[in-house]
Structure 1
Amino acid sequence: MDMRLNLPGLPDFSFRNPILTASGTFGYGLEFAPYGDLTTLGGIVVKGLSLAPRAGNPMPRIAETPCGMLNAVGLQNSGVESFLRDKLPKLPWRDVPVIANIYACDPAEFAELASILAREQGIAAIEVNISCPNVKEGGILFGQDAQAAARVTEAVKRVAGDKPVIIKLSPNVTDIATIARAVEDAGADMISCINTLSGMGVDIRTRKPLLANIIGGLSGPAIKPVALRCVWQVCRAVTVPVIGIGGITSAEDVLEFMLVGAHAVQVGTANFLRPDFSFRLVNEFTELLNKLGIADLEDYRGSLRT
């Protein structure tokens, strides 16, 4: 079955299938090559990149929770130049879209990062993480303010050239549809959602938080209902393609996100449980489509009966 996704508004861009990996859960992609064929994936979203190397937060920065995990890794990465020099050339970017996820603290820095990546043939698209501290605006998150989210989107879009710009939305907002409309109006080519939910854990014996950072991001199956709700609301609010993220652990989960309107999905926490999970999911998804007699994904997408 041909599962290639041709995306509205992006005639020169497509995914081989709707199964992508989520930033921060698949390393730079190379780490998972021993567990499957990277070229069978719909796309590889690498871990968040910053202009300069980042050491991340102090340990401990990962904690298990019922049906999920908390993390406060702090966007540890080797910096964009190191990635382009040492990692990207080893990835099969000619055969599978490699998507760079970027992190910065103000629109100008986001633009500087995007301009570097826009010149790279091996980068298929740029995903912008707007769930980070906006230092110049009192420490709020870009993703929690529609105007701030739009400013970042405009700054990246101005320098991205022919690279599609994906804006990754935070669920930690009152109305995610408002943020989605703001970034679409500012030029976003795609939207991915959701990022992690804010959470924390504590140890009643040591009386200490489970994370050194105290608060972290909750991910895994526990957040799937929230993610589905957000994707459904965003798909009803915008016309650009939407990529669903949050708690995907089965082929049925992928279809659920497509049923509410997503064009594709990103697999995150499940990669920690089984490093071969995303590769297996591609095959399991094909088997499920055949079992259910679904021959046209576009006809199925967004067909929820309400």
Structure 2
Amino acid sequence: MNAFLGELGRRLAERWVTLLLLPGALFVAVVTVASVLGHGRALDLRGLSAWIDGLAASRGAGQPGIVVLVAAGGLAAAAGTGLAAAALGEGVALLWAAEGRRGPGRRLAARRRERWRRAYAEVVAARRAVALSAVPPHGADPEARAALRAALERCRRICPVPADRPTWIGDRLRAADLRVHHAYRVDLAALWPRLWLALPDPARAELTEAYAAYRASARLTGWGLLYLLVAFWWWPAVVIAVVTSGTAWVRARGAAESLADLVEGAVDLYGRDVAAALGVLPADEGLDRVSGDAVSALLRKDEALHPGAEGRAGVPGPAGQPDLA
């Protein structure tokens, strides 16, 4: 047990250093440079070198007590900024998944809904062109089929289901919930804790890694926001903030895509295990809409869902939701 606790403590310490301390130390260094150079001498490396030399030559610079105090202050500042970035990352993750029912989020959501409607109208037109070009026995015109594939891809890039969130990430995560419900009529929020208990270790590890990558992207966005604050005193920090935030957004989209796909895959592969464990269907049968409805009703433990319902509260049934993926 002592060996286990020691190993756990070592891994937690390594994770703390990697996630908070090292990025925090870099941020403290940038803040220090910004305070020394400012806007007027933003790229004055000689001036920075002279300041460092003067600091090293100052009285008391080599005294152990001063060194310890400076080191402790630097570590505390690095850890504090790391915690601040993590807190900002939590807020960013909430904004990415926000419903957007008021304020700027409402306008952004309306804009995405309109973009999706226009893209889906192109899909409908392309399908009609494919149908009209179908001449037996050769089938549809290859150019019409290529145009349909392109229209489907454009629409899917906006969202695999009708868009309804201010951000792409929010819609992609929401799409996983809707697609699972449309396929099996199962309430993913109620199913997930039980499904997690039924997942094998490799599947849990994949999901955990994808979720960790998503949270890391949000935390990286928090660092970008902190660097943007430094730009008020040192303009090169704008470049750091833009690069950091852009990288975070690209990584976040990839992580959200992977996470949503893995969640859907977990339900596809192991949802029937939960249904079988609950006694809803035999172990040799697959999860379908009837058994999924029964699972949802059992797990919710209320009358909001019951076998034969067209959809759960606030979510239309499959007939009203085109699926592009």
Higher helix proportion (structure 1 or 2): 2
Larger radius of gyration between Structure 1 and Structure 2: 2
Same fold (TM over 0.5): no
TM-score w.r.t. structure 1 length?
A: 0.24
Higher strand proportion (structure 1 or 2): 1
